[in-house]
Amino acid sequence: MLRSTLFTLASLSLVAQTTPAKAPAAAMPTKPAKPTMPAMPAMPEDKIVAKVGTEVIRQSDVEIGLNGISPQQRKEVEGNPEARGRFVKSFVEFRLLVAKGRKLGLDQTDLFKKKMAFAADQIIATDLMAKDAEELKKKIEMNDTELHAYYDAHKDKFQTTADTYSARHILVKVKANADDKEGLLDGEAKAKVAKIQAELKAGKNLADLAKAYSDDPGSKDNGGLYENFDPSQMVKEFADAVRTQPLNVVGEPVKTQFGYHLVEVSAKTLKGAVKPFEAVAKEIPQMAQPDRQEKVWNEYLDGLKKDIPYEFYGEPKAASAKPEAPAAVAPKPADAKQAEPKKAEAKATKKNG
């Protein structure tokens, strides 16, 4: 094929360079254009890696072997020359095992043929799943209506196990000692708290002021907000304030080991209460996934069964190794009235004898 292609291109080149015998002078260009041969793509050399028996193993064979491992394993192999060297060596040794097995005729047995047929079936089933994977993935995803339906049907899963609160706070950090680089001296901290309180009274909200003044890196950028937390996980003074303050009111400054806090409780949920949907919406897809996957899978199989005749009888029970012996039947005792004539007959026989 390559030879015929080169011959065709060479012929076209010669034709292009041939001057017509009777072409008018006006029709001839001053300098004939030199045709250029199209560049042939470079064919990568498929180097020989090893020879095992009569089989020649090339780099392309190794690539096929690499296709058979997981993407993560392949990434590790290709990113490490030593790992790749070990893989190539193992691959060639694998071909050695295959060659020996073939020499022994292991590829000619009925069991081998059954295994090959099963392997082919696995490839077909895998390819079918790959073809339908995107559609199945879309069906597993839940829309808002389905999320609400799951929430309504499983509210027992969303009950709180302890009293939980949501609250915003501003921390004004106090130095533990005068040499500390972070925080303020106690008097300076009190003055800063007073300034913040004045701005709150002037109408500013705590969330904006937390972003501007709070020394708590864990909540500052979020307007000082901590959501759905158990107060027992906080320092005692802060926890007591959260439990006792009225909702949506900034309380008096609370002193803890970290400094002074201005706290505003926005929500309270008692133990055993059902968390609102908005608080658990992000958790639902993961919680529902096992049941959801099973539902989608069963529906997928039902669709296949409509297209392919399908009957399932279950695996037959194994036959008993030994037949059970019939139960022994106790002899029936003779009836007393029937026994009397037999006794009399026996006595008569003895007397006559």
Handedness of CA 55, 60, 62, 63 (dihedral sign): negative
Ranges of each domain in the chain: 48-108, 141-159+275-308, 160-273
Taking the C-alpha atoms of residue 193 and residue 173, their distance in angstroms, rounded to an integer, is 10
What tokens were used for 29?
């260009």
| Tally of residues, the chain | 353
Residue 16's nearest CA partner among 3, 38, 39, 33 is 33
Per the CB < 8 A criterion, the answer to whether 182 and 175 are in contact is: yes
**Residue 223 contacts by C-beta under 8 Å, 6 or more apart in sequence?**
168, 206, 207, 208, 210, 211
Q: Tell me, which fold does domain 160-273 have in CATH?
A: Chitinase A; domain 3 (3.10.50)
Q: pLDDT in tens for each of the 353 residues of the chain? A: 323 332 332 332 333 333 333 333 333 334 444 445 555 455 568 999 999 999 999 999 999 999 989 999 999 999 999 999 999 999 999 999 999 999 999 999 999 999 999 999 999 999 999 999 999 999 999 999 999 999 999 999 999 888 999 999 999 999 988 888 899 999 999 999 999 999 999 999 999 999 999 999 999 999 999 998 999 999 999 999 999 999 999 999 999 999 999 999 999 988 898 888 998 999 999 999 999 999 999 999 999 999 999 999 888 887 665 555 555 554 554 444 444 545 555 554 444 44
Query: Global pTM?
Result: 0.47
Task: Please tell me what DSSP assigns to residue 159.
Answer: B
Task: Please tell me what DSSP assigns to residue 167.
Answer: E
